[in-house]
Amino acid sequence: MAPNKLNSPGNTSTSCSQAENGFVNSFSLFPEKAVQELLQSPALGTDDHLIEFSEALRTVAKALRRVAEGKASAQAEATEWKRKYELERTRNMKIEHAEKSCLEHQADLDDVRANNCARQPTLCKEANGQSEKCCSSNGICSHEVLRDGAPDSDSKMIKKASFKLSWFCKGEQSDQHKHDIVSFERGNITTAERSSKQISLKWESCPQTVLILTKPNSVSVQILCAEMIRWLRQQKNLHIYVEPRVREELLTESSYFNFVETWNNDKEVLMLHTKVDLVVTLGGDGTVLWAASMFKGPVPPIVPFSLGSLGFMTPFYSEHYKECLESILKGPIGITLRHRLLCHVIREAAKNDYETEEPMLVLNEVTIDRGISSFLTNLECYCDNSFVTCVQGDGLILSTTSGSTAYSLAAGGSMVHPQVPGILFTPICPHSLSFRPLIFPEHVTLRVQVPFNSRSPAWASFDGKDRKQLAPGDALVCSIAPWPVPTACLVDSTNDFLRSIHEGLHWNLRKTQSFDGPRET
């Protein structure tokens, strides 16, 4: 009989194995459910037309699924092109800047240096020794020019300090970032020296402008901030930038702080990276996240002072700020290059694939969760257009390795050294016993799609902030951003990371077993 044909073991097992693999999709669910409901009705159970109707619906569902997959793949491709375009634009801008700086550099250098050295005799000795190497083909140089009509009369034009990054491999210094090179000479596959050992930043000209970012509503932070500004101005003659809120607080305390600079609008914030040589944060990890979020492109080196309860990214002790800053301003500085994720929300309602919202950059993670809804999230995940899985649970965390000790860790993800390039894929309370977290390599593009049959919308949040609703059909596409966050190390990136998990998490703390007991003979 026809209903038996539908309920035949063959048919049931096919739909079951699809469901187990997470392949049941938004379109195929509706017709099956509808048909089952119809079949449950005794009056219609034997109607052959219904069977035909259900098959027709299945065909339509299949076609719709193909359309959805095609659209998703086009979206991912468009995002990838957009990313490549942004990379190319950044690269061209860098080349343009470098060329411009090289020309101006020679002419201006003597002038500016003479000025600066008069103010900072000790700092410049070393930098002057390095100046000839500036713009050399080895290492990465940085010079940006500020023409802002700054209030200070002697600073009509402040040259952003240039620096060079070098990678230390096997205790030796290497000017160039060594990429992993696979050799296959005579049929033997070997890899060259691994890249990205300790990274060292050496100033080629003196840092002149410091941005200080502070955790709000903290008296101890306010006091330290004022003290640090006085010291940086009086002892180092540096230009200081703070947030508008902090400038107001400082001026309420004393008119002495009139020289402290700030910005008036978001446009000026976007240009901060061209003015600031160094960022100092006073707070906890949240203040480092805040600092990173202010830079939508390149980020100046950040020196994070610890004034919170937990500090995974804040290795510097505020009590010793003078010694720390002396040594940072002099250089060289150990650097942890922390990767960020570039996230695009792509709306189903968008008229074309290029109509995307402003991309978001995260240093820790982007979380897609169920928000206040009591339903399971249902998220289809793809990696470079290959189906990964369907997340049914409270949500999913896509985390950087720096964020691996934050929310991802609490959701069962592994802790990963921040210098490892990769994207952690960590489910939140998955309703499945076998959903272990994954780590993807740095070059992939991940896409998380809310299927059309989802019972509720999902919510994306970026480093725990800026929640955005994802309606059925909307997707979040994310990949590693081209602008990492360079944070200064107290010792080096490995030592700082291990110290943070030992001190912050008491990782693997256990009383040592005593010698006094049974022994293997």
Which sequence positions are flagged as catalytic?
285
User: For the purposes of burial, counting CB atoms within 10 Å of the CB of 353, is it exposed (0-12), middle (13-18) or buried (19 or more)?
Assistant: middle
Q: Could you tell me which stretch among 10-18, 280-288, 356-364, 435-443 binds ligand ATP (CB under 6 A)? A: 280-288
| Residue nearest ligand NAD, CB atom distance | 286
**Structure tokens of 361?**
């950059």
Taking the complex as a whole, the smallest distance from the CB of residue 331 to ligand NAD amounts, in Å, to 26
Contact 172, 132 (CB under 8 A): no
Site string for ligand ATP, 298-337 (x = CB under 6 A): ----------xxxx--------------------------
284 phi and psi angles, rounded to 5 deg = -105, -160
Contact set for ligand NAD, span 296-335 (CB under 6 A): 308, 310, 312-313
Identify the three-state secondary structure at position 83: helix
User: Which stretches within 206-315 are classed as H helix?
Assistant: 219-236, 244-253, 266-270, 285-294
CA distance 87 to 305: 32
Instruction: Give the residue, chosen from 286, 332, 393, 486, that forms a contact with ligand ATP under the rule CB under 6 A.
Output: 286
Q: Which of 144, 277, 285, 380 binds ligand ATP (CB under 6 A)?
A: 285
**From the list ligand NAD, ligand ATP, none, which binds 215 (C-beta under 5 to 8 Å, kind-based)?**
ligand ATP
508 three-class SS: coil
| Helices 321-330, 219-236: crossing angle, 10 deg rounding | 50
The listed partner (ligand NAD, ligand ATP, none) that binds 166, CB under 5 to 8 Å by sort, is: none
Rg (CA), the chain: 28
Show the binding pattern over residues 387-426: x = contacts ligand NAD (CB under 6 A), - = does not. ---------------xx-xxx--x----------------
Which residue intervals of 266-359 are DSSP H helices? 266-270, 285-294, 321-330
Binding mask 351-370 for ligand NAD (x = CB under 6 A): -------------xx-----
As measured in angstroms, the least distance from the Cβ of 343 to ligand ATP is: 18
With CB under 6 A as the contact rule, the residue among 70, 129, 151, 216 that binds ligand ATP is 216
478 Cβ contact list (under 8 Å, min separation 6): 341, 342, 343, 344, 366, 398, 423, 445, 446, 447, 448
Q: Are 479 and 444 in contact (CB under 8 A)?
A: yes
116 binds ligand NAD (CB under 6 A): no
Least distance between ligand ATP and beta carbon 80 (Å)? 30
Q: At 53, which helix (H) or strand (E)?
A: helix 48-119
Binding site for ligand ATP (CB under 6 A): 213-216, 243, 283-287, 289-290, 308-311
Binding site for ligand NAD (CB under 6 A): 284-286, 289, 308, 310, 312-313, 364-365, 402-403, 405-407, 410, 463-464
